[in-house]
Structure 1
């Protein structure tokens, strides 16, 4: 408990909010690396995922590639890329590492969102005279959006957690207090850095959870609410009958 109090005291100390390693500056560096990496990953993974979900082809390859990418140790990959690209290309090495980390979740969210759509809905849209392009943009993308947002949510959380290692190669971020504090045995500082990363991840998760809920089309939300009320009513009726 004392260590936790010391960590809070470290965060709130005035010296942590000014200078080259001020917490707002570290937060900005952390968010910048995260957002850039996820945007690049989305530009790569989402179109591929949509293509797989729309055509139904290539799913096995996507699953295999995603599984292989998830198995790559981020820290080891970062060090390897720094050695291969050179010390002048450290930012690029870090971004490549985080992009590869984000791609599997985004790819899965994109193609599973389209795969989960009831084929009868697609057939109905085609029977109304919609072209393939119209079916994709007006039916498949809106209905698949909640799962895509879920993939973005997962990717952001993974990258936020992993960007902490960027401090190891001098790129700052909220991992800096952790990386600096370990050799100095400043465990209050290490815990403070971990708390800040956890709070950032929690805030982003809450925001994306709200966005995922909002991405569900209004008609589907109404239908889901109706089905839930029907199930609850049926359960209440069955319970009352059993009691009687």
Structure 2
């Protein structure tokens, strides 16, 4: 089967309404994928962003935290997920998948938050201190607004990575769009595999686009 035949078959699979309905349909699997990804990303943001921003503000301990989180990139996410699945957590629904994805999302969020604050022009920071700003005012009015571009870049990177990586949940019997891909592999249906991959890619691009639009929608507050 040639490339064009596979792409055509993937288009036919996606155009078939029967593949979109039911428990194994695209809409149901998409809902599972978004649910798991959103929870994992929210938890990672709640942990990494405050820590990264605060460490960047005080200028101590950040390098160690960033290096420690980056070391997590070397740990295969599937290995972490498989470990959770053979632990007492295996009967906890999506919890193992969420835990593995959180570990995967932490590095870009923490690193960009920390670096974003630390790379704020020191002359601007000193000028703000000279104007009598407190530590909290300095952080909220100067450092955070100027660090926002890097923080948003880290958020977009983490979101795309989580959405793409969530497909491996299907390999340990969890839900999500990965189930469409694994079902295609199991039945030697290459167009279905490609269709599933296209759906994951489209979701990742859509989420990144939404985050870019949201960032542009709200004006960046000027440092003052």
TM-score, normalization by structure 2: 0.92
Structure 1 residues 152 and 175: alpha-carbon distance in aligned structure 2, compared to 1, 3 A threshold:
same
Residue 154 of structure 1 aligns with which residue? 157
Residue 75 of structure 1 aligns with which residue? 78
Moved more, 97-106 or 84-93: 84-93
Structure 1 residues 86 and 38: alpha-carbon distance in aligned structure 2, compared to 1, 3 A threshold:
closer
Distance in 1 (alpha carbons) for counterparts of 2:75 and 2:211: 26
Q: Does 1:105 align with 2:105?
A: no
Residue 118 of structure 2 aligns with which residue? 115
Query: 1:200-211, aligned counterparts within 5 Å?
Result: 200-211=203-214
Residue 195 of structure 1 aligns with which residue? 198
Q: CA deviation at 1:157?
A: 0.5
Q: Does 1:84 align with 2:84?
A: no
Q: Does 1:56 align with 2:46?
A: no
Alignment equivalent of 1:37, drawn from 37, 40, 47: 40
Distance in 2 (alpha carbons) for counterparts of 1:138 and 1:77: 40
Higher relative contact order (CA 8 A, sep 6+): 2
Q: Does 1:8 align with 2:38?
A: no
Distance in 2 (alpha carbons) for counterparts of 1:64 and 1:110: 13
Moved more, 20-29 or 152-161: 20-29
Q: CA deviation at 1:18?
A: 1.3
Q: CA deviation at 1:135?
A: 0.7
Larger Rg: 1
| DSSP-derived class of the 2:86 partner | helix
Q: CA deviation at 1:211?
A: 3.7
Distance in 2 (alpha carbons) for counterparts of 1:219 and 1:53: 19
User: Structure 1: which 5+ residue stretches go unaligned?
Assistant: 221-244
- Can you list the C-alpha shifts for 1:12-54, whole angstroms capped at 9, x where unaligned? 1011121111211111111111110011011111111012110
- Which is richer in helix? 1
Matched length:
220
Q: CA deviation at 1:122?
A: 1.1
Distance in 2 (alpha carbons) for counterparts of 1:41 and 1:197: 21
Is this contact kept in 1: 2:9–2:191, CA < 8 A? yes
User: Structure 2: which 5+ residue stretches go unaligned?
Assistant: none
Moved more, 111-120 or 204-213: 204-213
Alignment equivalent of 1:165, drawn from 168, 184, 192: 168
Q: CA deviation at 1:215?
A: 6.2
TM-score, normalization by structure 1: 0.85
